[in-house]
Amino acid sequence: MEIIIQPTAEASAEIGARIIRKLLLEKPDAVLGMATGSTPVSMYRKLIEMDLDWSRVTTFNLDEYVGLPQEHPQSYHSFMWENLFSHINIKPENVHIPDGNAADVPKFCADYEAAIKRAGGIDLQVLGIGSDGHSGFNEPTSSLASRTRIKTLTERTVRDNARFFDSAEEVPRHVITMGIGTILEARCNLLLAFGENKAAAIAGAVEGPITANNPASALQLHPVVKVCLDEAAASQLQRADYYRWVYDGKPAWQRY
């Protein structure tokens, strides 16, 4: 894993955006895995400002709530169009977001996995992390080999996400999410985490044992993971000084 610690969330989001820009300049028909939540918003804003060509890019989102109408302001469909897709030249037919209202959920999930394969696999997957270590909506004890499927949120995640709704009762209990196995097949994973609330989950994911209790820890098995943090999210890392030393010593050609 490459751990990149920046003084602020803004500076860390800038690095994340530069990593994606580098990929899109090298591979204009890249397949990107997208994430929602508060964390990637500033990186998406920076990508919009970079005015890149998205006309040949394909995207697959990590997850979606089950049962929310697509046009609900808190659906991840609405989130992606509001925060990124409406502001770039991506073709709507190249955008894939799980259908939380699919009549046959298992069939939808199998088709979603097949569509990722047909697209040639995901070049770069953007990830956030839950305060409980969930990645996508793979809650603790998710199989580390799991594929796209329906999951039940933990009470903690429902509480964490209640800030986007009028009350916790309105947060759907069920979601469709790519699995940890799906995420591990992306060619590169870009994990962003900002704030003190994420520090324990990040320490577990980066330095803890690989365990389904912190599903993001499965990323330790992946060959290309970049973790963009602010100081607060990095505050429980035991080897933070080493990560800074590595980043500061990068040769110029390796910089973003």
Q: Which is nearer to ligand PGA, 4 or 129 (CB)?
A: 129
Q: In the chain, what's the furthest Cα-to-Cα distance?
A: 52
Among 139, 160, 230, 231, the active-site one is 139
In whole angstroms, what separates CA 184 from the centre of its chain? 12
- Concatenate the DSSP letters of all residues of 178-228 into one string: --HHHHHTSSEEEEEE-SGGGHHHHHHHHHS--BTTBGGGGGGGSS-EEEE
- Is position 139 annotated as part of the catalytic site? yes
- Is position 174 annotated as part of the catalytic site? no
Q: Which is nearer to ligand PGA, 134 or 149 (CB)?
A: 134
179 near ligand PGA, judged by CB under 6 A = no
Q: Which is nearer to ligand PGA, 94 or 212 (CB)?
A: 212
Q: Say how far apart CA 73 and CA 77 lie, in whole Å.
A: 9
Among 64, 113, 123, 132, the active-site one is 132
Binding-site size for ligand PGA (CB under 6 A) equals 7
The closest of 60, 88, 68, 102 to 186, measured between CA atoms, is 60
Parallel, antiparallel, or unpaired: how do β-strands 63-65 and 149-152 relate?
unpaired
The correct pick among 16, 128, 133, 215 for binding ligand PGA (CB under 6 A) is 128
Residue nearest ligand PGA, Cβ-based: 37
The closest of 185, 160, 177, 158 to 169, measured between CA atoms, is 158
130 near ligand PGA, judged by CB under 6 A = yes
215 near ligand PGA, judged by CB under 6 A = no
Return phi, psi of residue 59, to 5°: -130, 150
Binding mask 27-66 for ligand PGA (x = CB under 6 A): ----------xxx---------------------------
- Is position 132 annotated as part of the catalytic site? yes
Residues that bind ligand PGA (CB under 6 A): 37-39, 128-130, 134
Give catalytic residues, as residue numbers.
Answer: 63, 132, 134, 139
